[in-house]
Amino acid sequence: MTFPRLASKAALLSALAATTMACAQAADTAKASPQGAYIALDGGRVHAVVQGQGPDLVLIHGANGNARDFTFDLVGRMARDFRVIALDRPGFGYSDPFGGPKSPLAQAAILRDAAAELGVERPIVLGHSYGGAVAMAWALQAPDDVAGLTLLAPAIYPWPGELGLWYQLSSSWLGQNVVLPLIAGLAPRGAVDRSLEGVFAPNPVPEGYMDHLGYDVTLRASQLSLNAKQVDSLKGYVEAMSGGYPALDMPIEIIHGDQDTTVGLSFHSQRMADTLDNANLTILPGVGHMPHHARPEDVAQAIRRTHERALAQ
Averaged pLDDT for residues 6-10: 33
Is the pLDDT score of 255 beyond 90? yes
Specify the pTM. 0.88
Q: What is the per-residue pLDDT for 102?
A: 87
Gyration radius (Cα) of the chain, Å: 20
Does the 2-312 domain belong in CATH 3.30.930.10? no
Which pLDDT tens digit goes with each residue over 203-224?
Answer: 999 999 999 998 888 888 888 8
Q: Please, are residues 257 and 202 in contact by the beta-carbon 8 Å criterion?
A: no
| Bridge partners, residue 195, by sequence | none
Alpha-carbon dihedral of residues 140, 153, 167, 106, nearest 10 degrees? Answer: -20
Higher pLDDT, 304 or 100: 304
Tens digit of each residue's pLDDT (9 = 90 or more) over 42-78: 999 999 999 999 999 999 999 999 999 999 999 999 9
pLDDT grade for 109, boundaries at 50, 70 and 90: very high
pLDDT of residue 135: 98
- pLDDT for res 184: 65
Confidence band for 33, pLDDT divided at 50, 70 and 90: confident
213 φ/ψ sector (left φ>0, alpha ψ -120 to 50, else beta): alpha
> What integer pLDDT is reported at residue 271 of this predicted model?
98
For residue 86, pLDDT beyond 50: yes
Q: What is the DSSP string of 208-262?
A: THHHHH-HHHHT-HHHHHHHHHHHHHHHHHHHHHGGGGGG--S-EEEEEETT-SS
Residue 27 has pLDDT above 90, yes or no: no
pLDDT above 80 (res 178): no
Q: Given pLDDT bands bounded at 50, 70 and 90, which one contains residue 251?
A: very high
